[in-house]
Amino acid sequence: MRTGVGLAFLCLACCFHGSLSCPALCKCYPRRAEVVCNDVPLTEFPSQGLPKNTSLLTIQFTNISSISEHHLSAMPLLEGLHLYSNNLESLSSHLLRGVPHLKTLDLTDNKLAHLPQDVFSHAPLQSLVLKSNLIETVDADWFPPNSSLTWLDLSGNRLTSIPSALFQRLPHLENLDLSYNRLEKLPPDSLKPLTRLERLNLRNNKLSSLDPSVFQGASNLTFLFLPENRLEKLSPTLFQGLSKLRYLTLDGNQLSHVPPGLLDPLLSLDEEGLDLTVNPWLCDGKVEYFWRWLVKNKQKAFAEVNIICAQPLSLAGRSISSLMENELNV
């Protein structure tokens, strides 16, 4: 029996390694069909010796500048491809044709600027990370209709807008990260197709306003990050329908008032789940709704004592929740 098991394991190892081979400068792990080329002086894709049944390939911190359909088709069982921090500048529209099982693609920290149509249409991707590249525009035609994608990370690029057509192709999306871009606006009703969206990150963009309908339809939103933008006013109906929202950050904007009713739909906020610090709050007669909400919901506000008045001067530096009722009409 032991001899049989030993022979079976040897066969598996040989099958994976291709006669016990492995690309130079890389490491191969037969049991999990994984190849890792990490922080090594590679300048070309490591085709030589790559096991045919590789299911997970990681090439990171190298100098490879191109990857082709031919390279990937040599691994028809590939499920995960991580190409973090290389020098990739372009991708072929047919890149993924030979990897029909690919679910995860990570292209973080490369030099990608323009991507062709259909580039992500030939594999059942569930997770796509394009973080920290040079992308200026997004094309809905990157993806097939009814894409299986659930995770999309476009943070740290140069995006100034997002087409509504993109979201129409991503009905299964659960996580969307658009932080650290240059977005100036979001199209009205743009998130309606994203009925499964749970997490939306818009941190550090250039948003100065939000259409009242922008979050309508995204009723499963649980985490919404909007800090470090240029928001000055919010529609009182902006958060209608977001009864599942547990965490909302609006710190570091230019908000002076909270319109009456804005926070009422947020029934599921976690303890300290709402961050409204670092805004120039005007503590005049219009602050009453916000004051009453804070007094009633102190435990839901992050650093509640740091939500302070900027004006008028007589109240500057005071936390809004510390105000007395007779001070609200200054």
Q: Does residue 156 fall inside a structural domain?
A: no
- Asked if 204 and 298 sit in the same domain, the reply is yes
Report the share of the chain in percent with pLDDT over 70. 93
The 10s digit of each residue's pLDDT in 101-134 is 999 999 999 999 999 999 999 999 999 999 999 9
Q: Does residue 315 fall inside a structural domain?
A: yes
User: Taking the mean position of all CA atoms in its chain, how far away is CA 50?
Assistant: 31
Pairing of strands 199-201, 223-225: parallel
Statement: residue 5 has pLDDT above 70? no
**pTM score, whole prediction:** 0.91
Boundary of a domain, candidates 134, 153, 170: 134
Distance (Å, rounded) from C-alpha 301 to C-alpha 296?
10
CATH code, 203 = 3.80.10.10
Distance (Å, rounded) from C-alpha 88 to C-alpha 107?
9
Question: pLDDT class for 21, splitting at 50, 70, 90?
Answer: confident
Q: Does residue 13 fall inside a structural domain?
A: yes
- Asked if 127 and 184 sit in the same domain, the reply is no
Q: Does residue 142 fall inside a structural domain?
A: no
- Asked if 8 and 99 sit in the same domain, the reply is yes
- Asked if 222 and 120 sit in the same domain, the reply is no
186 to each of 194, 313, 326, how far by Cα in Å?
Answer: 14, 35, 40
The 10s digit of each residue's pLDDT in 63-74 is 999 999 999 999
Q: Does residue 144 fall inside a structural domain?
A: no
The answer to whether the beta carbons of residues 45 and 71 sit under 8 Å apart is: yes
Report the share of the chain in percent with pLDDT over 90. 90
- Asked if 111 and 187 sit in the same domain, the reply is no
The 10s digit of each residue's pLDDT in 28-59 is 999 999 999 999 999 999 989 999 999 999 99
Q: Does residue 263 fall inside a structural domain?
A: yes
- Asked if 110 and 213 sit in the same domain, the reply is no
Boundary of a domain, candidates 134, 168, 195: 134
The 10s digit of each residue's pLDDT in 261-319 is 999 999 999 999 999 999 999 999 999 999 999 999 999 999 999 999 999 999 999 99
Boundary of a domain, candidates 134, 151, 169: 134
- Asked if 302 and 193 sit in the same domain, the reply is yes
Return the pLDDT at 328: 80
- Asked if 117 and 185 sit in the same domain, the reply is no
Q: Could you give the number of structural domains in the chain?
A: 2
Statement: residue 8 has pLDDT above 90? no
Domain containing 29 equals 1-134
Please state, rounded to an integer, the average pLDDT across all residues of the chain.
92
Q: Does residue 165 fall inside a structural domain?
A: no
Return the pLDDT at 13: 42
Q: Does residue 7 fall inside a structural domain?
A: yes
